[in-house]
Amino acid sequence: MKTKEFGRFALFFLIVFLIEVSLNAQPSEKLVKVAVAPDHADWIYSKGENVKFKVTVTKNCEPLQNVKIRYEVGPEMIGPTIKDTALLKDGSIIIAGGTLKEAGFLRCKVVAEYEGNKYEGLATAALNPELIKPTVEYPEDFIPFWDKAKRDLATVPLDVKLTLLPDRCTELTNVYQANIQNYKIGMRLYGIVSIPKKTGKYPALLRVPGAGVRSYYGDVTTADLGVITFEIGIHGIPVTMDAGIYNDLGKTTLDGYPFFNIDDRDKYYYKRVYLGCVRAIDFIFSLPEFDGSTLAVSGGSQGGALSIVTAGLDNRVKFLSAFYPALCDLTGYLFGRAGGWPHMFRDIKAGKEKIETAKYYDVVNFAKNVKIPGFYSWGFNDVVCPPTSTFSAYNCINAPKELLLMQETGHWTYPEQNEKSKQWLLKKLAPNVGK
């Protein structure tokens, strides 16, 4: 390989690595640590039960003496009901957080001041999360609306264009950029498809993306194990361009895309996204290497939402895995509680048209139509996709489901969570892998 080509190859891998780290990174280490936790080991209470938060401020793993803190407690994502300060003589304190009369989440935020710097910590207690019900309404014509959209999609030719990416291929897998037609003539969908080289029929995994604008590398590791993988972008642009292009698009043309045309259910941006997921399945089913049946979908955040949406839209999906799904119970803020990302009814005026459109795109309403086994995982401290919103959707699912709670996590995952999801999917897709 020539020096210049090797340099570009190494740079690409560095960019991919940094993107993955930024998407899944745990909080950075700080000199002073503010640990906050409810006094129940599982962080779960009954509504009406008083919650207490344990706070410990440490430096070098030792309690910090005479440190000043300020704290606030209240329903997550809503204004605090308690605000106060305290001096921690021995580095710890118990805060009485009160309770909630209804099922939900109570959050305690703490800020410690030390040598002119501020250090933060938070914890979120659950009160009967299994009883949380959604606020969003289910439209009478929800199914007809999406059935018509899928019929319209079916009239559009796939028009598949595959470009081999030799530098990404392995001894066992061929990797391509796939360029296919979405639900309107001329509207494209791009992704990275990884196909085992050995002749045979294989199960498939559709990987759907988190929010943002970026390139994608594809899931070659899983493909090497004998599973076709297709990792898609949602914006109708190639997914192998220089990082600077995506950065520019994210700050200009695609800035704020989750709000584009939110006042029109037929023109809302996520219509192309949701139907793009169905179109991705059309493409997988067109592959001669696909076994014609065994298909799963997986993603986190926006991708968690798309996993549930795709499973609710398309009965060709047999399994799903979703981390902290976005777009759940968007109207929560209109009822005085946390709503899902992108928090549209907290940040923009809630006009009638916007509320009506949201009903057709809210993950809650797709969750009600999920009929397949699913693996789900999130934490209580998520300030991007609040657990009030994710439980609103999860509690509506009447199919076999497994929830892995990692209470202290925010909008990030532990490696153990990712491994459990991977093993769950492989067990469903390719039970003989590794045997």
Reported as a single tens digit per residue, the pLDDT across 20-55 is: 444 455 677 889 999 999 999 999 999 999 999 999
The whole-number pLDDT of residue 433 equals 61
Rg (CA), the chain: 23
Q: Do 312 and 355 belong together in one domain?
A: yes
CB of 418 within 8 A of CB of 377? no
- How far apart CA 336 and CA 348 sit, in angstroms, is 15
Measured between alpha carbons, how far is 379 from 121 in angstroms, rounded to an integer?
15
Q: Is residue 236 part of a domain?
A: yes
Tokens of 167: 């530098």
Other C-beta atoms closer than 10 Å to the C-beta of 155 total: 8
pLDDT of 383 above 60: yes
- Domain's final residue, options 103, 129, 155: 129
Residues 106, 126: Cα–Cα separation, whole Å: 7
Q: Which residue type occupies 195?
A: I
- How distant, in Å, are the alpha carbons of 31, 62, 108 from that of 87? 19, 17, 17
Give the count of domains, the chain: 2
Query: Is 121 in the same domain as 186?
Result: no
Mean pLDDT of 344-357: 86
Please report whether residue 435 resides in a domain. Answer: no
pLDDT for 19 beyond 50: no
- Is 378 found in the same domain as 269? yes
376 and 245 co-located in one domain:
yes
Angstrom CA distances, 28 to 33, 380, 411, stand at 11, 19, 13
Note whether 93 and 36 are same-domain residues.
yes
Q: Do 360 and 411 fall into the same domain?
A: yes
The reply to whether 124 and 156 lie within a common domain is no
Q: What are phi and psi of 5, to 5 degrees?
A: -65, -40
pLDDT band at 8 (very low <50, low <70, confident <90, very high): very low
Catalytic site includes residue 411: yes
- Rounded Cα gap, residues 37 and 107, in angstroms: 10
How do residues 173-197 score in pLDDT, each as one tens digit?
999 999 999 989 889 999 999 999 9
- What value does the mean pLDDT take over residues 131-135? 98
Q: What is the mean pLDDT of the chain?
A: 93
Which CATH number fits the domain that encloses residue 38? 2.60.40.1930
Q: Are 176 and 245 within one domain?
A: yes
**First-to-final CA distance of the chain:** 36
Whose structure tokens read 């994710």? 390
Cα angle 154, 209, 427; round to 5: 90
273 in a structural domain? yes
Pairing relationship of beta strands 173-181 and 161-164 according to DSSP bridges: antiparallel
Other residues' Cβ atoms within 10 Å of the Cβ of residue 17? 11
pTM above 0.75, yes or no: yes
Q: Is residue 324 part of a domain?
A: yes
**Interatomic CA distance for residues 77 and 70, integer angstroms:** 18
Which of 129, 152, 180 is the C-terminal boundary of a domain? 129
pLDDT over 70 (residue 3)? no
In whole angstroms, what is the distance from residue 380 CA to residue 411 CA? 9
Considering the candidates 307, 389, 411, 421, report the single residue annotated as catalytic: 411
**Mean pLDDT value of segment 340-346:** 94
pLDDT given for residue 129 in this prediction: 98
Contacts of 305 (CB under 8 A, 6+ apart): 299, 322, 325, 326, 327, 328, 340, 363
Please give the DSSP secondary-structure letter assigned to residue 172: S
Torsion of CA 287, 291, 292, 298, to 10 degrees: -80
In this predicted structure, the answer to whether residue 356 has a pLDDT above a threshold of 70 is yes
Domain's final residue, options 66, 98, 129? 129
* Confidence bin at 435 (pLDDT 50/70/90): very low
Three-state DSSP state, 153: helix
Domain check: are 112 and 222 in the same one?
Answer: no
Given 382, 389, 392, 421, which residue is catalytic?
382
Cβ neighbour number for residue 94 with a 10 Å cutoff: 10
Q: What whole-number distance in Å separates Cα of residue 254 and Cα of residue 247?
A: 10
Q: Which DSSP state fits 198?
A: S
Say whether both 62 and 188 belong to one domain: no
Same domain, 357 and 324: yes
- Please give the pLDDT value at position 350: 74
d(CA 220, CA 429) in angstroms, rounded, equals: 16
Higher pLDDT, 385 or 349: 385
In a domain, 188, yes or no: yes
Separation of alpha carbons 317 and 63, rounded Å: 51
For residue 349, pLDDT beyond 90: no
Residue 87: inside a domain = yes
**Which region among 27-36, 211-220, 275-284, 362-371 has the lowest average model confidence (pLDDT)?**
27-36
Average pLDDT, integer, range 69-79 = 96
Model confidence at 430, pLDDT cuts 50, 70, 90, reads confident
> What residue numbers bound the domain in which 348 lies?
142-429
Q: Over 80: is that where the pLDDT of 102 sits?
A: yes
- The CATH number for 374's domain is 3.40.50.1820
Instruction: Assess whether pLDDT exceeds 70 at residue 273.
Output: yes
Q: Partners of 176 in the beta sheet?
A: 164, 193
Q: Which of 194, 215, 298, 301 is catalytic?
A: 301
In a domain, 206, yes or no: yes
pLDDT greater than 80 at residue 305:
yes
Q: State residue 4's pLDDT score.
A: 41
Q: Would 4 be classed as within a structural domain?
A: no
Identify whether 382 is a catalytic site residue.
yes
**Are residue 106 and residue 236 in the same domain, yes or no?**
no
The amino acid present at 294, given as its one-letter code, is: T
Nearest to 122 by CA among 384, 381, 422: 381
